[in-house]
Amino acid sequence: MSNMEIAVTRKVAGEFLGSALLTIVVVGSGIAAQQLSTDIGLQLLENTLATVFGLAVLITVLGPLSGAHFNPMVSFAAVVERTLPLRDALCYLPAQVAGCVLGAVTANVMYAKAAISFSTHNRVSGPHFLSEALATAGLIFVIIALQRVDRGAWSAAIVASYIGAAYYCTSSTSFANPAITVGRMMSDSFAGIAPGSVLFFIAAQILGGVLGLVAVNLLWPRTNEIR
């Protein structure tokens, strides 16, 4: 990451914009899928492909500016890995949450729904906790591992593909991001999450993020012959 010297205001603006656009893609395609398809698996397929496409675009264009995190756990991992100053991460966090909320509201308006319509989709269960922890662990593992094996240039395609796989193979559909979890609380759709499940998901995501960091550092120790 050679973007250490970019003004933090521009980087924060990039995180805000990217988080908003990502949430528009996730929530908007979730609403569209629910309105247009009857089979739930097909709804998830439509939601997944839109998210994969959108994430690849956003990481490609905003990666060189802000790192294209859109996710406090990714920013936290970057601080631990010393590729992002803690000061920047503290500015990223509110921008990411605000962007995700704005994105959910925009998607609602774009589909003629109430701007803020809280989800009633309860997602508290043991299997969901395990799913979110694993999904976040895998996301952090993949992002850091790409840097360790000198394939950071592939991150747009690989992180998007990771989400494409994780949406389908976890029972929670892999939110894996505390900011978008808050945003999706405000969408009464297929892609929503009830307010009462949000802290539960965020706890799983924090645990998973730490696990992912531990795993990647076990497999590629800092002072290793191959980075």
- Judged by CB under 8 A, the residue of 17, 78, 97, 182 near its own copies is 17
How many residues sit close enough to its own copies to count as binding (CB under 8 A)? 82
* 105, 115 contact by CB (below 8 A): yes
User: What residues numbered 38-77 form the site for its own copies, per CB under 8 A?
Assistant: 38-54, 56-57, 60-65
- Give min distance, CB of 171 to its own copies, in A: 5
User: Among 79-87, 93-101, 180-188, 215-223, which window interacts with its own copies (CB under 8 A)?
Assistant: 215-223
- Give min distance, CB of 37 to its own copies, in A: 3
Q: Which C-beta is closer to its own copies: that of 57 or that of 195?
A: 57
Q: Which C-beta is closer to its own copies: that of 165 or that of 195?
A: 165
* 29, 190 contact by CB (below 8 A): no
- Judged by CB under 8 A, the residue of 3, 83, 117, 217 near its own copies is 3
- Give min distance, CB of 182 to its own copies, in A: 19
Q: How far apart are CA 23 and CA 104, in angstroms?
A: 6
37 binds its own copies (CB under 8 A): yes
- Judged by CB under 8 A, the residue of 1, 116, 130, 194 near its own copies is 130
Q: Could you tell me which of 84, 92, 89, 83 has the C-alpha nearest to residue 19?
A: 92
- Give min distance, CB of 210 to its own copies, in A: 17
98 binds its own copies (CB under 8 A): no
142 binds its own copies (CB under 8 A): yes
169 binds its own copies (CB under 8 A): yes
Binding mask 108-127 for its own copies (x = CB under 8 A): -xxxx------------xxx
Q: Could you tell me which of 14, 21, 96 has the C-alpha nearest to residue 51?
A: 21
- Judged by CB under 8 A, the residue of 10, 90, 122, 199 near its own copies is 10
